[in-house]
């Protein structure tokens, strides 16, 4: 019979502290997610508060000249778009609702999800409203009916069929197909209409409905709330870095130069005056954490700026000539130049964007694989894709070049690229093959 034994061994291993893990996480966040994280940190730590003053470190006049855009266009990158709830509340403020009706509207809007549907039963909303004011079901229905006609039409609906009916009434009531389309929606209420796919499946099974009326239904938006959410998403791409020309030289600078957080002066003063040990320990603990967080965010900005400067030190030809000037570059190249780890470069460039005179690009865009030319020089895969585009633009439209012919053309230029590589890059930039291009021309 085997006996259990205890043994002691010594070993060394690297364990990341909680603070180090937090610093790594902050570096990985993009500017939009960082702002959300900052809001969360403020709630957790009383020693932190938001620094509302945002200071730009670049010469706005030079920037406008470099990008040939208005100052308002630049500020759009920092504009915070409304959420669906904010949009509806703004319309409520401008409406002719009474004070009580605005309270009901606020309760209803709080129960609306991003897709635009109510997430609470009307009975529960009635109970909640009566805790604040005396209200009848008739008043709730009146406010709800009005909200459903706010922009976007069909939000605050009870379910999918309800939303479709509202949109149909608003946009197609005068249509000769209106009655038949209404009958289709009434039929859909009898099935599980929680998903639009279920509806389409049910409609496809039935041949009893007018095809044109069915087409009218398909024009309606099954998730009207996303009309606002999509607009909100479009502002999530906010450049961390901006590049412009000043006195004939390319300048790389942070878009926001002020720290997002600062120490709360009142709590710092309270910490220095407090004599109670438990309070003092609590305040000191949060004070140290707050200082570390502020320092981590500052280091994050410095790291991103340094990485970006090194990228465009190597990719200056891109700024001058576009994609055709791109050079092959890897994470390792940047890491070795800055004396940092590759993973740090990866985190500093992941989902981070830079505003250049040639548009807004993710920093990862500037890293590419390389190919050797006959002269021994390396060429970026981005350049290959650009050369393929240019080659196809100049081809005889009646006799498009095959991938093999493009490969031979490159070889004549001193760039050896296999046919399968041409095919891979051509498909990556969504260019059809020669047969399809010829067919499109014939059509």
Q: How many helices (H) and strands (E) does the chain have?
A: 22, 8
Q: Are residues 271 and 309 in the same domain?
A: yes
Which of 227, 259, 283 is the last residue in one of the domains? 227
Domain assignment present for 9? no
- Domain contains 7: no
Output the CA–CA distances (angstroms, integers) from residue 78 to 35, 75, 96, 238, 349, in the order listed: 12, 6, 32, 7, 20
| Coil vs helix vs strand at 157 | strand
Q: Is 263 a member of any domain?
A: yes
**Tens-digit pLDDT profile for the chain (443 aa)?**
556 666 676 665 555 567 778 888 888 888 888 888 888 888 889 999 887 654 444 444 433 343 444 444 444 444 445 678 888 888 888 788 888 998 999 899 988 888 889 888 888 889 888 888 898 999 999 999 999 988 888 999 988 888 888 998 888 888 888 888 888 888 777 765 445 555 556 665 655 667 788 888 888 888 888 887 655 444 457 888 999 888 888 999 888 766 678 888 888 888 888 888 888 899 999 999 999 999 999 999 999 999 999 999 988 888 888 777 778 788 888 999 999 988 888 888 888 889 988 888 888 888 865 555 544 455 666 677 777 888 888 888 888 888 888 888 877 777 777 777 788 778 777 888 887 777 766 65
Which is nearest to 62 in space by CA: 221, 316, 202, 244?
A: 244
- Report yes or no on 5 lying in a domain: no
Structural domain that includes position 122: 84-227
Among the candidates 368, 394, 424, a domain finishes at: 368
351 with 259, same domain: the answer is: yes
143 and 217 assigned to the same domain: yes
Residue 114: CB atoms within 10 A of its CB come to: 14
Structural element, H or E, at residue 243: strand 241-246
Residue 48 — φ and ψ, nearest 5°? -105, 145
Q: Do 72 and 127 belong to one domain?
A: no
Count of structural domains, the chain: 3
Q: Check whether residue 69 and residue 185 sit in a common domain.
A: no
In a domain? residue 320: yes
């Amino acid at each position: 019979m085997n006996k259990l034994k205890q043994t002691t061994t010594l070993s060394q291993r690297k364990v990341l502290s909680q603070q180090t893990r937090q610093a790594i996480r902050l570096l990985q966040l993009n500017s939009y997610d960082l702002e959300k994280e900052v809001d969360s940190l403020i709630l957790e730590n009383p020693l932190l508060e938001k620094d509302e003053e945002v200071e730009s470190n670049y010469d706005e006049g030079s920037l406008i000249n470099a990008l040939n855009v208005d100052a308002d266009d630049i500020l759009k990158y920092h504009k915070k778009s409304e959420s669906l709830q904010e949009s509806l509340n703004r319309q409520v403020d401008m409406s002719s609702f009474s004070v009580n009706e605005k309270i009901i509207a606020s309760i209803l809007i709080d129960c609306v999800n991003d897709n635009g549907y109510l997430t609470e039963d009307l009975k529960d909303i009635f109970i909640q409203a009566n805790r604040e004011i005396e209200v009848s079901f008739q008043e709730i229905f009146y406010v709800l009916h009005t909200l459903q006609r706010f922009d976007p039409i069909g939000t605050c609906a009870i379910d999918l069929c309800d939303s479709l009916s509202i949109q149909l009434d608003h946009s197609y009531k005068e249509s000769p197909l209106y009655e038949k389309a209404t009958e289709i929606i009434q039929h859909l209420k009898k099935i599980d209409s929680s998903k639009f796919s279920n509806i389409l499946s049910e409609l496809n099974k039935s041949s009893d409905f007018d095809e044109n009326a069915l087409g009218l239904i398909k024009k309606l938006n099954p998730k009207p709330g996303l009309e606002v959410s999509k607009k909100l998403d479009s502002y999530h791409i906010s450049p961390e870095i901006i590049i412009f020309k000043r006195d004939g030289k390319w300048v790389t600078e942070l878009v926001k130069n002020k720290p997002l957080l600062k120490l709360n002066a009142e709590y710092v003063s309270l910490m220095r005056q407090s004599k109670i040990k438990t309070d003092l320990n609590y305040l000191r603990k949060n004070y140290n954490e707050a200082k570390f967080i502020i320092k981590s965010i500052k280091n994050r900005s410095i790291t991103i700026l340094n990485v970006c400067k090194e990228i465009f030190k190597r990719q200056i030809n891109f700024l001058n000539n576009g994609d055709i000037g791109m050079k092959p570059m890897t994470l390792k190249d940047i890491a070795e130049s800055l004396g940092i780890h590759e993973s740090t470069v990866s985190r500093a460039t992941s989902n981070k964007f830079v505003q250049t005179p040639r548009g807004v690009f993710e920093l990862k865009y500037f890293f590419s694989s390389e190919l050797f030319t006959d002269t021994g020089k390396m060429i970026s895969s981005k350049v290959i894709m650009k050369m393929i585009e240019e080659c196809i633009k100049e081809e005889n439209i009646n006799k498009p070049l095959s991938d093999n012919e493009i490969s031979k053309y490159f070889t004549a230029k001193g760039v050896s690229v296999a046919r399968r590589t041409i095919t891979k890059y051509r498909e990556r930039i969504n260019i059809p093959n020669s047969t399809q291009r010829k067919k499109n021309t014939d059509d």
